Amino acid sequence: MEKMVNFKGTLSPSNDAFVIFVSEKYEYQDEKNILSKDIVKKIDTFIEVLKKNKNSENINSFDISNQQKCYIFKIKNKKENNYPQEKGADFFAHLKKNKNIKKIQICIDTANFSKEKKSKFFSEFLFGFLLKGYEFNKYKTQKNIINSKIDYNVITSDIKRFMIEYKYYQAIKEGVFLARDLVSEPPNVLNPKTYVQEIKKLSKLGLKIKSYNEKELKKLGLNALLGVGQGSLNETFLVTIEWNGNKKNKKDPIAFVGKGVCFDTGGISLKPAKFMEEMKYDMAGSAVVVGLLKSFALRKAKVNAIGVVGLVENMPGGNAQRPGDIVKSYSGKTIEVLNTDAEGRLVLADALSFTEKKYKPKFIIDLATLTGAIIVSLGEEYAGLFSNDDDLSKKIYKSGEDVNEKVWRLPLHKNYDKLINSPIADMQNINYSGGAGSITAAQFLQRFILKKTPWAHLDIAGMAFSKKAASLNTSGATGFGVRLLNKLVKEYFEK
């Protein structure tokens, strides 16, 4: 469903519906006389009925005429950070039930707010409204689905002030939607090479993008990454994305690294057939990084940021990596590959060391659908957070709470670390003694942070995709992490 958002100063009778906003006591305002006297009379009569019946619903509606419906949206006096976005999403879900509405006007001036609060609240309201309306239907052929379109007109007398806030959230929405689109693409369409092509399209936004092919990766020594893809006919790539938004200080950029396994069969350590189709989502960490950098560029974030994604396909071909193989990583450390289905950590190992050495960042945050164990631990409510830095962890946690993309920190400890020691190499890629699967995976990654750079690992295996709808998304790809990391950067690291 395509959503066309326009901004106007007057109410039009040609629209199918409009919405006004009232307080918990059903108070509203109309200082600019957007509503005619006849409409005001009808609204007041309807509100009296709602009061008399002690109506508890937040959204009510009635027919203002044979051609137009009026929605009454009750805004409660709540201070939760995510409340406006969730209310916007609620309104979209409510509207979707009425398929006759093709044009609706959102009268934000009717809310009894100050100008500052009005701009902030309703830019977030519309943000949630748009996030909830995401659909991935490019492969559907039914014209009544792919051609559906609704025009949403925001009615306000203070368009200039509203647009400042709106453009910020629009940039984040674009990043979220790109992440969702990438995760939703089928694996026969989005292989590593076509993924690189999609990323390069972002160069028009001012992002500096470089891709490294297999020949270049071999020369550099990223053998852990290359080993994962050697059983696939599709070439392996590493892509760097640079955003230079702080021209005054180009030192110490912040860095984000993403796992981009475009399809994961498990390799020779083959996964069960049931639900294997979901392994197209195994590149979700990289999609978040790409979406995040796009949003930085769109909102002209005053920060220097690096995105690095390892793009690969894990297949059981004739040249596939075998359990028992030993590879020498970019860091120089050797890895005994005991299970080829623990491939994400091999991808990230080289990407992390490469990022740290090349860019010398202030911190590195990596994202990956890394372990099924994190879903056992935290379900679909929290991403797993692992870090070598308490301050960075606290900032990530707080940012997650603020935008309702929650993380929970789990421990790292030398006793977990020794579980991945190998008798014949520097380390092995799984913990054979059993237990603590997510923790030992994070311990493995930490070994590739060579210069004590502040680092955090987000295991988003339970958060990147959902079979059930949540407050700000329908079922499917969520784009989890784009909003969280935008909040982190804006709150703590922009100059």
Residues 271-293: b if buried by 16+ CB within 10 A, e if exposed: beeeeeeebbbbbbbbbbbbbbb
Beta strand segments in 23-148, E? 59-63, 69-74, 103-107
Residue 148 pLDDT greater than 60, yes or no: no
Helix ranges, 31-137 (H): 37-52, 83-96, 115-132
Q: State the pLDDT at residue 151.
A: 80
For the chain, what is the mean pLDDT? Answer: 94
159-173, 270-284, 442-456, range with the lowest pLDDT:
159-173
Higher pLDDT, 386 or 1: 386
Average pLDDT over residues 187-199: 98
Contacts of 336 (CB under 8 A, 6+ apart): 324, 325, 326, 422, 424, 425, 427, 428, 429
Higher pLDDT, 31 or 390: 390
Residue 85 pLDDT greater than 60, yes or no: yes
Give the strands of the sheet with 69-74, arranged side by side.
2-8, 149-155, 103-107, 17-22, 69-74, 59-63
262: tokens are 């475009």
Q: State the pLDDT at residue 144.
A: 60
d(CA 207, CA 19): 39
Higher pLDDT, 102 or 195: 195
Higher pLDDT, 274 or 158: 274
> Cα 304 from chain centroid?
20
The predicted-structure confidence for 456-472, as pLDDT tens digits, reads as follows 999 999 999 998 878 88
108: tokens are 């934000």
Cβ–Cβ under 8 Å, residues 342 and 283: no
Q: State the pLDDT at residue 13.
A: 85
Residue 157 pLDDT greater than 90, yes or no: no
Average pLDDT over residues 201-223: 98
Q: State the pLDDT at residue 238.
A: 99
Element (H, E) at 11: none
Q: State the pLDDT at residue 260.
A: 98
Residues forming beta bridges with residue 458, ordered by sequence position: 367, 385
Element (H, E) at 27: none
Whole-structure pTM value: 0.96
d(CA 446, CA 439): 10
Q: State the pLDDT at residue 3.
A: 52
52-66, 69-83, 149-163, 174-188, range with the lowest pLDDT:
149-163
d(CA 203, CA 321): 34
Q: How sure is the predictor about 327, in pLDDT bands with cuts at 50, 70 and 90?
A: very high
Whole-number percent of the chain with pLDDT over 70: 97
- Given the structure tokens 């990407």, which residue do they identify? 351
Residue 147 pLDDT greater than 50, yes or no: no
Higher pLDDT, 36 or 157: 36
Residue 100 pLDDT greater than 90, yes or no: no
229: tokens are 């893809």
Q: State the pLDDT at residue 77.
A: 83
Q: How sure is the predictor about 6, in pLDDT bands with cuts at 50, 70 and 90?
A: low
Q: State the pLDDT at residue 145.
A: 60
Average pLDDT over residues 156-169: 89
Q: State the pLDDT at residue 143.
A: 59
The predicted-structure confidence for 108-140, as pLDDT tens digits, reads as follows 999 999 888 999 999 999 999 999 999 999 998
Most confident segment among 101-115, 142-156, 476-490: 476-490
Higher pLDDT, 144 or 467: 467
Higher pLDDT, 252 or 424: 424
Q: State the pLDDT at residue 7.
A: 67
d(CA 339, CA 102): 53
Residue 82 pLDDT greater than 90, yes or no: no
Q: State the pLDDT at residue 160.
A: 87
Residue type at 45?
T
d(CA 318, CA 268): 10
Higher pLDDT, 95 or 289: 289
* Longest Cα separation, the chain: 84
Q: State the pLDDT at residue 186.
A: 98
Average pLDDT over residues 428-447: 95
Q: State the pLDDT at residue 470.
A: 81
- Given the structure tokens 């629009």, which residue do they identify? 170
Other beta carbons less than 10 A from residue 251's beta carbon: 9
The predicted-structure confidence for 34-75, as pLDDT tens digits, reads as follows 999 999 999 999 999 999 999 999 999 999 999 999 999 999
Residues forming beta bridges with residue 259, ordered by sequence position: 310
Higher pLDDT, 480 or 79: 480
Whole-number percent of the chain with pLDDT over 90: 83
Helix ranges, 249-343 (H): 284-298
Cβ–Cβ under 8 Å, residues 239 and 309: yes
Q: State the pLDDT at residue 290.
A: 99
Catalytic (active-site) positions: 271, 345
Q: State the pLDDT at residue 2.
A: 47
